Amino acid sequence: MNKFWIILSHTYMTRVKSKSFLISTAITLLFIVGIANIQSIMDVFSDDTADTFAVIDESEQFFDNYKQMVEGSSEGMELVAFEGTEEEAKQAVKEEEFTGLIVLRQNERNLPEAVYYANDISGVEQRMILEQQLHQLKVGLATQQAEIDQATLDQINEPVEFHTEALNETAKTSGELNQTRGIVYIMLFVLYIAIILYGQMIATDVATEKSSRVMEILVSSAPPVTHMLAKIAGIALLGLTQVGLFVGVGYLLILSKQEEMTGGIFRYLGVQGGSASVYIYAIVFFILGYLLYATLAAMLGALVARVEDANQMMMPVILLIAAAFIIAMYGLNMPDTNLIRVTSFIPFFAPMIMFLRVGMLEIPVWEVALSIGLLIGTIILLAMIGARVYKGGVLMYGTSNSLKDLKRALALSKKER
């Protein structure tokens, strides 16, 4: 057991002191602080001056109402009646005296239409406001012409009430689903990033030790399974250190900006009122998912003799994770389809898909237990195979970029017995 802790501490301390770890952690922390203060940052770079638009109303009927509607819908827009010709107004826009020019006309039905001129028409938001308010003006005038009572028109445009109620008493309500969906989404994203980041780290760490012949000493002094599990645990501890820093800084920022942030995006994502069981399942499936892919990454890392080959060897693992993530994203809106149900029992997909089902649906306990059992069984199986690959892989040098080398490593491990 003492050898396990020695390898674990060596793996952890080597990584935690590395420049890549320190730089990536610092950059991520700055990113978190930036996200928490995004509104303040935007205010610093924002231009407080209103955008002024020149308006030529050829009908001489629409400008006053249109000006009131546009300026009432957006504080950053101002409409000014232009006294001059259309060409003079266009020239003023080119010289940046105005943001744009709006020419209002009356069509054959005595309703408004417009032409918008600007040096750059990439400002979609402003154009949408101008168009929407002109449409509202047109609707109001058309209503008057048709002699339709405004109250009747408001009643027609009022959204229809459409309630959803589940007949199954154990099914989650619409509010609970919306609340859980955000937690599930965050968990899936974090699991996806963590598996790719730390799995790749394990594979390259093993390949580095092998290329420097350190593994030969380690494997000869400690059982392969001990070395592999210590390596996985060391990187896991590194991940907990990094994630702990992120969560700690994020939590302090939330406390300092509670009035600004709580009730906004956090309520939308469902973080404020999620059930305890969802968080427990999140931890369980996160740990099992990490162990599964970390064991696989360590096993594949032992097959290569160069760090450059580790990236290529990890490609199938990354594709598996990407496939699970894509299926999970699909399942967020349709969690009860056959595809989601079947893949939730496949060990390489289960950490994401079964957690998705647990969070979004009320499913039998035996299904969750079966999925977790298959996950644990697969982890144990991969650990047993990985230990043998460690033992045989230490004797394999040269170019190694094919999964066929797995059979060769297993054969060499038998010779070493």
Q: Determine the pLDDT at residue 371.
A: 92
Angle formed at CA 139 by CA 138 and CA 143, multiple of 5 degrees = 115
- Identify the CATH assignment for 49-153 out of 3.30.1490.20, 1.10.260.40, 3.40.190.10, 3.40.50.360: 3.40.190.10
The span from the CA of 60 to the CA of 217, in Å, is 91
Q: How many CA atoms lie within 13 A of 9 on its CB side?
A: 6
The strand pairing partners of 81, in sequence order, are: 55
| Tokens describing residue 85 | 């010709």
Pairing relationship of beta strands 100-106 and 112-117 according to DSSP bridges: antiparallel
DSSP letter at 222?
Answer: S
Close Cβ partners of 404 (under 8 Å, ≥ 6 residues apart): none
Q: Which residues of 225-257 are buried (b: 16+ CB within 10 A; e: fewer)?
A: bbbbbbbbbbbbbbbeebeeeeeebeeebeeee
Q: Determine the pLDDT at residue 377.
A: 93
Q: Determine the pLDDT at residue 84.
A: 84
Close Cβ partners of 282 (under 8 Å, ≥ 6 residues apart): 183, 187, 355, 359
Q: Give which of 400, 413, 355, 21 is closest to 206, Cα–Cα.
A: 400
Q: Provide φ and ψ at 87, rounded to 5°.
A: -65, -40
Q: Determine the pLDDT at residue 364.
A: 87
Q: Is 136 exposed, middle or buried (0-12, 13-18, 19+ CB in 10 A)?
A: middle
pTM: 0.66
Total count of residues recorded for the chain: 417
Our separate counts of H helices and E strands in the chain read 19, 4
Full pLDDT tens readout for the chain, 417 residues = 677 787 788 778 888 888 888 888 888 888 878 777 766 666 666 555 668 888 988 888 888 888 888 888 877 788 888 888 889 888 988 888 888 888 888 888 888 888 898 887 766 778 888 888 888 888 888 887 777 776 776 777 777 776 666 656 555 556 566 666 677 777 778 888 887 888 888 877 777 766 665 555 655 666 666 777 787 888 888 888 887 888 778 777 766 765 555 444 455 454 445 567 777 888 888 888 888 888 888 777 777 766 667 777 788 888 888 888 888 888 888 888 889 899 999 999 998 899 888 887 888 889 999 999 999 999 888 888 777 776 665 555 555 555 566 566 555 555 554
DSSP letter at 403?
Answer: T
Contact 182/270 with Cβ under 8 angstroms?
yes
End-to-end CA distance of the chain: give it in Å, rounded.
22
Please enumerate, as own/partner, the contacts of 310-314 that have beta carbons within 8 Å and a separation of 24 or more: 310/200, 310/203, 310/204, 310/206, 310/207, 311/200, 311/204, 312/401, 313/203, 313/400, 313/401, 313/403, 314/199, 314/200, 314/203
Q: Is 3 exposed, middle or buried (0-12, 13-18, 19+ CB in 10 A)?
A: middle
Where in the chain are the domains?
Answer: 49-153, 172-415
| Strand, coil or helix: 278 | helix
Contact 229/143 with Cβ under 8 angstroms?
no
| Strand, coil or helix: 344 | coil
The span from the CA of 408 to the CA of 389, in Å, is 9
| Tokens describing residue 289 | 């998912």
The strand pairing partners of 112, in sequence order, are: 106
Q: Is 101 exposed, middle or buried (0-12, 13-18, 19+ CB in 10 A)?
A: buried
